[in-house]
Structure 1
Amino acid sequence: MWTKLSVITMPLNGSEPVERAGHTLTVLRKINGKWLLARDASAVIEGLSKDFSNATGIGIEHITATWEVLPSGHYAVGGKTALQQPPTSHPVLVDLLAPDFNADESIEKMLRAVSSNISKRADVPINNIFINCRKAHSGMVFDAGEIVHW
């Protein structure tokens, strides 16, 4: 569910109030016939980005994160689909794209940071997270209007 969120802060020094507004993706789960908040995807990916930056030392300006929700029945593991995210099957799928100049130890640090933070922030058991790391190569990336070389 897309939600419009608006927050107004009233500075203590008496200056003009500041409003921040935008859309947030909220994921609901039906439990015992009632729709309950499962997670706020916007808050999760913002937190994941900050946690990843802190854990790896990579500047937040170099981190992009997305959260996609697969419709019920659109993800099969062992030939079986699920109506919602089970705690022991149908792992959360993560695609980590990292520049190829990173050493294997750095990639392992990234994998640990992503998995532990998804587990913490999205309340997913760490053993139910699947991460595939792909390496981006110099001259094979187009970003900000140009081919990127490093």
Structure 2
Amino acid sequence: MPIIRISSLALSDNLDMKQVMQALSSGISRDVRIEQAQLSLSWQIIEANHYIAKGEVAETQPSHTHPILVELLIPEVLSKDLSEKIMHSLAHRLGKELNFPVSNIFIYERQLASQQVFEEGMIANWA
């Protein structure tokens, strides 16, 4: 049940976000062999001038500063190898779909411990 939360400044006006999200979900699913039903992705647009990096603010998403920020939430039972595969897939899929340099994508992982997640009406127990 990886949860992927993406944040960026506004992207190109002619970008079809529905298509991008579907391509990310299906592509990551294929790359790492996780069913799409197990993946959750969201994308939040950061308001113009609400993101500062290296002392500079930006109105729209630049390709060489202000990295796209990605938080990857995964259960602690997922192997390190699988979490790394998810990160690589996600970075390369984002780069491809957005025509964006992978070097300006920042992904960080947070592990979710058993009994520290509430889902499907109950506390999740992965033990």
* TM band (smaller chain): 0.7 to 0.9
Higher relative contact order (CA 8 A, sep 6+): 2
TM-score when normalising by structure 1 = 0.74
Change (3 A) 1:123 1:145: same
Pairing 1:59–2:74 present: no
1:144 Cα offset (Å) = 1.7
Alpha-carbon distance between aligned partners in 2 of 1:104 and 1:57, rounded to the nearest angstrom: 15
Alpha-carbon distance between aligned partners in 2 of 1:51 and 1:94, rounded to the nearest angstrom: 16
Contact 2:11 2:61 in 1 (8 A): no
Larger of the two Rg values belongs to structure: 1
Moved over 6 A (4+): none
TM-score when normalising by structure 2 = 0.86
Give the share of equivalent positions with the same residue, in percent: 31
Q: Which has the higher strand share?
A: 1
What is the aligned counterpart of 2:83 among 99, 107, 114?
A: 107
Query: For residues 8-56 of structure 1, what are the alpha-carbon distances to aligned partners after superposition, in whole Å with 9 as ceiling and x for unaligned?
Result: xxxxxxxxxxxxxxxxxxx664xxxxxx51x122211111011111011
What is the aligned counterpart of 2:100 among 119, 124, 145?
A: 124
Larger deviation, residues 101-110 vs 87-96: 101-110
Q: Give me the CA root mean square deviation.
A: 1.3
Q: Which has the higher helix share?
A: 2
Aligned length: 117
Pairing 1:77–2:53 present: yes
Pairing 1:148–2:117 present: no
Alpha-carbon distance between aligned partners in 1 of 2:94 and 2:19, rounded to the nearest angstrom: 12
Change (3 A) 1:128 1:28: closer
